[in-house]
Structure 1
Amino acid sequence: MKSIPALLLSALILSGCATHQSPTGRGQTLLFSSQEINQMGDASFEQIKKQEKMSKDSKLVTYVDCVANRVTQVLPDKSLKWDVVVFESEQVNAFALPGGHIGVYTGLLKVAENEDQLATVIGHEVAHVLAHHSNEQVSRVQMTGLGMQLADAALGAGGVSNKDLYMAALGLGTQVGFILPYGREQENEADIMGVELMARAGFDPSQSMLLWQNMAKVGGEQGPELLSTHPSHGHRIDDLSQMQAQVMPLYLASKNKVKNRCQIAK
């Protein structure tokens, strides 16, 4: 049987995919169902927990849990219980995965100076999941990965596994040695959604600008891992500044309703 040209194979895949609109109206190609993408998130999180050292500092874990739980409690889906794990690492990083998983590295807590700044990062990462960016990225891997496999076969060379590709697409580049970055539009969407989430959860959105200023000071010109594929610090801070008038009323309406302030116990 003759081989099918790569472009034709891609066209066949695309003809069967689902097209959605992102929260900002951008078109998205999503090849996987919610159940499938959640299963990928579940499996990836289990693998990360085996590879990374989980923190045993109960005070630190309680603090991160508090911030993450307040953010996830304002999400539309109240039935999903999010699993939050703190990893003992100097990485200035955090991630969220489909299926309800949040990972925070202790290195981030040296840069996020308070609960509001930590909520900025967690809100942003959760927003990537809510906006189906994970599905979008893994779908891109499915399409481009096909081309990579064809190229490997033609060259008689080996390639990375699908599992590694999917983990990289889910934002776990530090674990597999490379990352497939979110695009600028995806990052902007996550910023917009994330700062609204934190405001609705009773966290001060003005602290989001301070958080990214702190990030800009870490690691010199390259910055920390969390920013390796993100928009420039100045661009992000300018956008967040313009959003304050929109999100500050949400914060003012919700802050007095918050009963569980999040602080690291002394």
Structure 2
Amino acid sequence: MASLGSGCQSLQKLDRGIYRVADSVSETDQVTGRRSLSFAARSEQIAQGNSYIEKLLAAETKAGRPVDAALDKKQYLRLIRVFDRVHAVSHLRRERWQPVLLDRDSFNAFTTGGTYIVVHRGLMQQLQSDDELAAVLGHEIAHTVANHVFERQSHVQLSTLAGSRSARRGSYQSAFTHENEREADRIGILYSALAGFDPLASSRIWQRQYIKEGTGRALRFHDHPVNTERQQEAAAVGRKVAGYYRAGQQNPAYPQLLQSNVLWRQSQSAAPGEGGGVSALFDTVLGAYVQHQVAKQEERRQAAEIRRIKALETRLKQPQFKKVSERQLKASWYYQAGSPELQSVIMGLLVKRNEQVERYIAHVPGRVTAGRRFSVSFTLPVGLTVDQLQQLPLKFYLDDARQVL
């Protein structure tokens, strides 16, 4: 007959074995303390993520395109200065990271799960303050902290092996990424506040992008929150973490605040052999299931929004277009009688030029009332006239609208 002690040792051994299994397909989320899917260890993530960036940098050198200080010394030094402050209060502050400035006009920055952060010069030029830059850099660091690149890969692989039809849908994949983007925004705003940057700066970025770009809601499923939603959520998160903000100064309590704050509280798990194995396995399975359900819910929400906008679009009748000046086009529509009154209406224009599809938007002032015409003016960019536009394939569409309650 086995002794009580040997029975306990067997259970401890089993629990440690279960932990090794769970640890091979997941990791401890540095933000929440819970388990998240990941088939790659951090060393593998760094090697794979950095390999992609190093090939990109080699291609830039081969093409004769300068990077970093050789491209724009002033913006590169600004990038380094702001990045160092944000990185210093992040969960990955002990890793040696390298910011990279590329010669691109686009409003973009990205990471690949390694220790590089790539920023386009166009983004640096468009951001109006270091506070806004800090929010963007915090967001990108957060993607790696939360292991979004490899978590998504692992989730898709596991879902495919499990025979999930959802994982094969592009709309589901967009929704899954959409939720990761929301999480990165929240983490990034906290980082910027802890580093001494205004946590409301992020909301100002997306308010500006909304005025400039509209939403693009009706065009397709989106893997980033649309500008209106992003602005509203960023403002709400910024207000929540405002108490941690010390203008221009690092919050001295940042190590503790990374573990417990108004956005999350890290959970503590038992050690392997002491119930940690069972806990890790349960956490991994539950976490993957919850992510799957949240992504499906977001997929359904986006589908409903697309249907709503397209239903409203069918109520726009008798389109008329008129040249106002060389680069200004006035368009008007009759809004069908019996339709709900609308506000915050945005009309979009798609133009195919030089094998590229360009998108222009215009905000309709005031409210749109049923049974009347409304009009809006599109201002075209330098190099494209209304006469040229009329010779190109184009399409007008309803970008977004809110029903007056």
Shorter chain as denominator, the TM-score bin is 0.5 to 0.7
CA contact 2:30–2:145 (8 Å) conserved in 1: no
- Tell which deviates more after alignment, 214-223 or 117-126: 214-223
| CA positional deviation for 1:19 | 6.3
Distance change in 2, residues 1:76/1:16 (3 Å): closer
Once the two structures are superposed, what CA deviation does each residue of 1:16-74 show, in whole Å capped at 9, x if it has no partner? 62265584688632111111111111101101212344242111110111111111011
| Letter matched to residue 194 of structure 2 | R
Q: Distance in 2 between matches of 1:218 and 1:200?
A: 30
| CA positional deviation for 1:218 | 4.1
Distance change in 2, residues 1:83/1:25 (3 Å): closer
- Equivalent of 2:177, from 137, 160, 183? 183
Partner residue of 1:35?
43
Which of 1 and 2 has greater Rg?
2
Where structure 1 has 5 or more consecutive residues not aligned to the other structure, the ranges are 1-12, 148-179, 259-266
The residue matched to 1:97 in structure 2 has which SS? coil
| CA positional deviation for 1:207 | 1.2
Partner residue of 2:120?
105
Where structure 2 has 5 or more consecutive residues not aligned to the other structure, the ranges are 1-20, 163-172, 252-405
Is structure 2 residue 189 aligned with structure 1 residue 195? yes
Q: Which has the higher contact order (CA 8 A, sep 6+)?
A: 1
TM-score w.r.t. structure 2 length?
0.46
| CA positional deviation for 1:88 | 0.5
Once the two structures are superposed, what CA deviation does each residue of 1:158-212 show, in whole Å capped at 9, x if it has no partner? xxxxxxxxxxxxxxxxxxxxxx755232122111100000011111111111111
- Equivalent of 2:152, from 137, 142, 147? 137
RMSD across aligned C-alpha pairs, in angstroms? 3.0
- Tell which deviates more after alignment, 24-33 or 207-216: 24-33
- Equivalent of 2:248, from 222, 238, 255? 255
Partner residue of 2:56?
48
1:1-266 correspondence to structure 2 within 5 Å: 17-18=25-26, 23=31, 28-52=36-60, 53=65, 54-55=67-68, 56-140=71-155, 142-143=157-158, 181=174, 183-219=177-213, 221-222=215-216, 229-252=223-246, 255-256=248-249
Once the two structures are superposed, what CA deviation does each residue of 1:74-122 show, in whole Å capped at 9, x if it has no partner? 1234331110110001111001233311100011123311111111111
Distance change in 2, residues 1:256/1:36 (3 Å): closer
Q: Distance in 2 between matches of 1:71 and 1:210?
A: 19
Q: Distance in 1 between matches of 2:243 and 2:23?
A: 44
Higher-helix-fraction structure: 1
Higher-strand-fraction structure: 2
| Letter matched to residue 109 of structure 2 | A
User: Percent same amino acid among aligned pairs?
Assistant: 29
TM-score w.r.t. structure 1 length?
0.68
The residue matched to 1:85 in structure 2 has which SS? strand
Q: Distance in 2 between matches of 1:51 and 1:220?
A: 34
Q: Distance in 2 between matches of 1:240 and 1:186?
A: 14
The residue matched to 1:110 in structure 2 has which SS? helix
CA contact 2:131–2:197 (8 Å) conserved in 1: yes
The residue matched to 1:40 in structure 2 has which SS? helix
